[in-house]
Chain A
């Protein structure tokens, strides 16, 4: 047997999902220890984003179980799962267009600082206190991510890289224990991707979150992740340190192949 399950923050046990007759994911195992920066890699169409949708409750697994922080997530609604401490970003950025940068962050604090409707309608003192707290925290968060100067712009007006950072800031505003990042460096050039990965590592260290990261750029993943799970055709085929993954014959066959040999 491997490590006891209570030492894991996230534990996917033989998870599978069918859409009609199609098995999108099967026999998926991911064991994520607290504080880890964990990579999820795999060729295109391997089902990586489906895994995020399973964890966040958008899809309900048809097989297996997903444990988070000791209890099962299966069957819980997405907003409950978010409340339990899982935040995420999206491969195709999904900010709330029509809302300003700071509002995108504030709205994600709904759960932990919202006076009741009556208090807000009647402008009661607690409502003002809550609004002040929300404003302070959102401002801090934007400052941390270098977005304070654009706080009042519409979210859709930001340049691409800033939108990626705002999505991470918004996810952090939900106060997650686990952050799921879906290809945060997609569409960036190598130097931007490098900066973003430094940011990701810094987020893990200073916010004390665990991170599960989907990424396409192999060197980037190998460079910053402490553990990696490899997905192929909807199933996990290997899990281990970057070095173990690089030397795993199954992985080389399924995904890295000539690429790794060429890089030597």
Chain B
């Protein structure tokens, strides 16, 4: 159960990046999965260079995470600036194809630079305990869940209570109107990419610490699942991404626990299709009303 929650938390963190970018630009940023992958490798190399790998401490790990988040934030902003912004005025299909291109480019660059698969060191002590009979707690799950919750509350505060959050919501409602109200749309979009990418980097570090192996194609599967979670919750909706992430994670874990892990993806995607049949806008998505 807790397993499923922490897997869901990871999906949710990555899904937030998809949904925020979709909200502001109506663009599915296929390169987001690769930003997540690079977040994992950035964490690995940062841990190596700073010596946290040999001598892991809690502040050290936090610093590695922060470093990876900043690195990925810069990467996300660069991708937006270089690949998407020049195409802002062209058709959405062109930008979509560009996004797929950026994704493949980063994935292959990753293969070239990082090789195939690398093991990720144990950075935090891993224990397991049983506070109640039958309830097993793993320390990695607890870390994952608590970090995710903190990040989500931070994001919630940012979006709901700050001028930047209001500007982001205004831009996602109408870019032109927002600009005419003096909101610097380009900067808002740029920061949106930065925040989404930073969340993906945090997710990557959490996954790497749990699974102990990272690979250049992890962005493809992880990214796809998170994208599914975003659509499930209603793409463009921030609470939707969180709900979708947790739902998908729980579904997968329950299926592999009670049925067989080979059925996991089939059932997960079956749930997606089933929900979209009845709620085409996703769980918490708002169906758009055509403006007259």
Q: Which residues of A contact B (CB under 8 A)?
A: 56-58, 77-79, 81-83, 87-88, 90, 92, 94, 96-99, 103, 106-111, 113-115, 117, 120-121, 123, 127, 130-131, 134, 170-171, 173-174
Contacts and interface: CB of A to CB of B under 8 A. Distances in A.
Nearest to B181: A108
B163 A134 contact: yes
Interface string B60-96: 0000000000000000000000000000000000000
Contacts of A78: 176, 179-180
Contact of A82 (B158, B173, B179, B191): B179
6 contacts: A58-B176, A94-B177, A97-B173, A108-B182, A108-B183, A115-B163
B180 A110 contact: no
Contacts of B45: none
A55 B158 CA distance: 33
Contacts of A90: 177
Contact of B173 (A79, A88, A98): A98
Most buried by A among B157, B176, B182, B286: B182
B173 A96 contact: yes
A117 B191 contact: yes
Contacts of A174: 181-182
A107 B180 CA distance: 12
B163 A106 contact: yes
> Top 8 closest A-B pairs, CB basis?
A82-B182, A78-B179, A107-B166, A120-B162, A114-B163, A79-B179, A108-B181, A111-B182
Given A79-B183, A79-B184, A107-B181, A114 B170 contact: no
B146 interface: no
Nearest to B182: A82
Given A96-B169, A117-B164, A107 B176 contact: no
A99 B177 contact: no
Contact of B163 (A82, A88, A96, A113): A113
B180 A56 contact: yes
Interface of B: 154, 157-158, 161-164, 166-167, 169-170, 173-174, 176-186, 191, 286, 291-292
Given A78-B179, A88-B180, A107 B174 contact: no
Contacts of A106: 163, 166
Contacts of B170: 96, 99, 107
Nearest to A85: B182
A19 B88 CA distance: 20
A110 B162 contact: no
Select the residue from B177, B180, B184 with max chain A CB neighbours within 10 A: B180
A107 B183 contact: yes
A111 B183 CA distance: 7
B180 A58 contact: yes
A136 to B, nearest CB: 14
B163 A120 contact: yes
Contacts of A113: 163
B180 A82 contact: yes
A179 to B, nearest CB: 12
Among A90, A94, A131, A173, chain B packs the most CB atoms within 10 A around the CB of A94
Nearest to B175: A78
A79 B174 contact: no
A99 B169 contact: yes
Contacts of B166: 99, 103, 106-107, 110
Contacts of A107: 163, 166-167, 169-170, 178, 181, 183
Nearest to A78: B179
